[in-house]
Structure 1
Amino acid sequence: MARTVIIEEHGGPEALKLVDREVGEPGPGEIRIAHKACGLNFIDCYQRSGLYPMNLPQALGMEASGIIEAVGDGVTHLAVGDRAAYAAVPPGAYSEARVMPAAQVCKLPDAISFEEGAAMMLKGLTAQYLFHRTTPLKAGDTVLFHAAAGGVGLIACQWAKSEGIRLIGTAGSDEKCALAVEHGADVCINYSTEDWQARVQELTDGKGVDVVMDSVGKDTFEGSLDSLKPLGMMISFGNASGAVEAFNLGILAQKGSLKVTRPTLFAHIADHDVCQEMAAMLFEKVASGKVKIRIDQRFTLEEVPEAHRTLEARRTTGQTILTL
């Protein structure tokens, strides 16, 4: 048996329940992992609320780290006793242990702690596909990154700096802006006190940026399009302020033949080999010190409802984990 956080109906943080669940043995292509720490992400809140509907009852949580306890037939990249970490479907990481598909579970280097492993996989692999698998980026390019002091944001600031890419961030307070700059942002705009769109134009001499990386969604979408240079790419990869509303595709032509994409991590990591390659690049960034994983909030399994409230109120910086 393993303590596991589930929902039986969609709703607010009060819908989260801590129960005992039987773990079982792994079948073909599966592993059983005893968790050491679990990651917390906005997608967990979307699934809990019903923005991303699921069949219920359902355990939550998309990333964790731990020790491999058992391996099913056909699994060759992991062995019993291996340190491991993952961002993967189906949900179920808010637990002491689970059985799950092995394909997206990655062997965790000794140089990276379990807490770092739990905090970095979903957001770090997101940064990897943003910078390497979505649109060509090279040293000297300029990226506008919203929520630059958040979990993905602080990784993205460091990632951009490590590759010579200029990152202009936005955040909601002077303290968060300072944190983004400390982690490698060229500059960070406080959108609560500044006109961030006008500031972006000023910082780019009126040319706009090459790429916008936007996890905020509805509130920033139109301004993000207006911040792009002609032929620029808008990467909308989250809905923190709500889903982007329908819009006329002709606007993209009017604003300079812009490109828009709405990627998800799980489409990028669906292939086992690709997932392992992406993870290897992430592990190199972290093990080399180019990207440091900052964990600013820790909660227990019993405190998951409060963790969700804190995340949704945007009172977090860096990474948030559940400790076991």
Structure 2
Amino acid sequence: MPNAVRYYQTGGPEVLRWEDIQVGDPGPGQVRIRHEAVGLNFADTYFRTGLYPVQLPAGMGVEAAGVVEAVGPDVTHVRAGDRVTYTGSPLGAYSTERVMPAAPLIALPDGIGCNTAAAMTMRGLTCAYLLRRIHPLKPGDTVLLHAAAGGVGLIFTQWAKLLGITVIGTVSTEEKAAVAHANGCDHVLVCPRADSPDNTAARVREITDGAGVPVVFDSIGAATYATSLKSLARRGLLVCFGTASGPVPPIDAMELVTGGSLFVTRPALADYIADPADRAELAGELFDHVQAGRIRISINQRYELADAVQAHRDLESGRSIGSSVFSL
């Protein structure tokens, strides 16, 4: 019988339930997909805790890869038997099978397996829009990336190296520092959460001869917001693309002025892949790099889907390195 992880109230990992489910036939614009691997992303915890509110009860997860088993009317871009991956709403990726809209599905090249796809679709497309759409980065630029040993971080640093961009990365442990450096991070700063924000920013300025960086990519949020602003060069851009430590504080416009006419943006992947042509272009570039071996996908944590509670505990503990997947 098909199974899924669902939750009926918001809260800690313990609210997740492993249940038997019924999976019907796809309707117009839908497919039935059998998952072979499911992505575990920090964004999943935002839904579980209620930071991203949804109507309950709800499924869990936004990323998976598998095989299309049936297609409904009006579905033309995929067929039964196709290997596909996806990221995005509606929730429900933590399942062995599901019926879902066909629109988000991306065909998988033969050289990319489902486990790799589930480990990189959301993270890789995030890196794609951060590096290729947010700011006109050019060879020789230096950027600051928080959480450089995470799933996004390891892909980002490899891709940045291909573009000739120097990356200053922050991590929380020496073990993570070694991993980040091995994946192309040029300067790795070990910055535990208790570290002084002023100290981190000062180290960034030492590396950049006092100038600061033109762009900071920050997925941590509340704990690093002040550090990120103080690390920017004049007219620099802070890209807040995650809130692992909590939402960023309300923006003080005068702080942006006194910091050097700074900019702040809070982008979402969904807005950069909503157009099918944009999604195909970004996915194509990502897949090409992975198939050619220019970008390696590190799967360092694997779980059974029934172990979602433990997986969320591990994820929120900060112990995870690289990508995590549920293998079915």
TM-score (norm 2): 0.96
* Structure 1 Cα separation of the partners of residues 74 and 250 of structure 2: 44
Amino acid at match of 2:142: T
Match of 1:313 in 2: 317
Match of 2:296 in 1: 292
Match of 2:149 in 1: 149
How far is the alpha carbon of 1:253 from its aligned partner?
1.6
* Structure 1 Cα separation of the partners of residues 177 and 241 of structure 2: 21
* Structure 2 Cα separation of the partners of residues 42 and 184 of structure 1: 23
The equivalences for 1:21-36 within 5 A come to 21-36=21-36
Q: Which 5+ residue runs of structure 1 have no aligned equivalent?
A: none
What RMSD over aligned residues (CA atoms) do the two structures have, in Å?
1.1
How far is the alpha carbon of 1:20 from its aligned partner?
1.3
Match of 2:235 in 1: 231
The equivalences for 1:166-181 within 5 A come to 166-181=166-181
Match of 1:10 in 2: 10
How far is the alpha carbon of 1:71 from its aligned partner?
1.4
* Structure 2 Cα separation of the partners of residues 73 and 138 of structure 1: 45
Q: Which 5+ residue runs of structure 2 have no aligned equivalent?
A: none
How far is the alpha carbon of 1:47 from its aligned partner?
0.4
Match of 1:54 in 2: 54
* Structure 2 Cα separation of the partners of residues 21 and 275 of structure 1: 31
* Structure 2 Cα separation of the partners of residues 113 and 206 of structure 1: 45
Q: Could you list the structure 1 runs, at least 4 aligned residues long, displaced by more than 4 angstroms after superposition.
A: none
* Structure 2 Cα separation of the partners of residues 166 and 75 of structure 1: 43
- How many aligned positions are there? 324
How far is the alpha carbon of 1:247 from its aligned partner?
2.6
* Structure 1 Cα separation of the partners of residues 83 and 318 of structure 2: 32
* Structure 2 Cα separation of the partners of residues 276 and 71 of structure 1: 21
* Structure 1 Cα separation of the partners of residues 32 and 286 of structure 2: 24
* Structure 1 Cα separation of the partners of residues 76 and 293 of structure 2: 29
* Structure 1 Cα separation of the partners of residues 33 and 292 of structure 2: 27
Q: Does 1:202 align with 2:209?
A: no
The equivalences for 1:52-201 within 5 A come to 52-192=52-192, 195-201=199-205
Match of 1:213 in 2: 217
* Structure 1 Cα separation of the partners of residues 90 and 209 of structure 2: 46
Deviations 1:15-58 (A, max 9, x none): 00011111111122221110000000111111001111110010
* Structure 1 Cα separation of the partners of residues 167 and 74 of structure 2: 43
* Structure 1 Cα separation of the partners of residues 132 and 29 of structure 2: 28
How far is the alpha carbon of 1:135 from its aligned partner?
1.3
Q: Does the 8 A contact of 1:104 with 1:276 survive in 2? A: no
* Structure 2 Cα separation of the partners of residues 103 and 272 of structure 1: 8
How far is the alpha carbon of 1:77 from its aligned partner?
1.7
Match of 2:280 in 1: 276
Match of 2:308 in 1: 304
% identical aligned pairs: 49
* Structure 2 Cα separation of the partners of residues 84 and 252 of structure 1: 43
How far is the alpha carbon of 1:75 from its aligned partner?
2.0
Match of 1:243 in 2: 247
SS in 2 for 1:277: helix
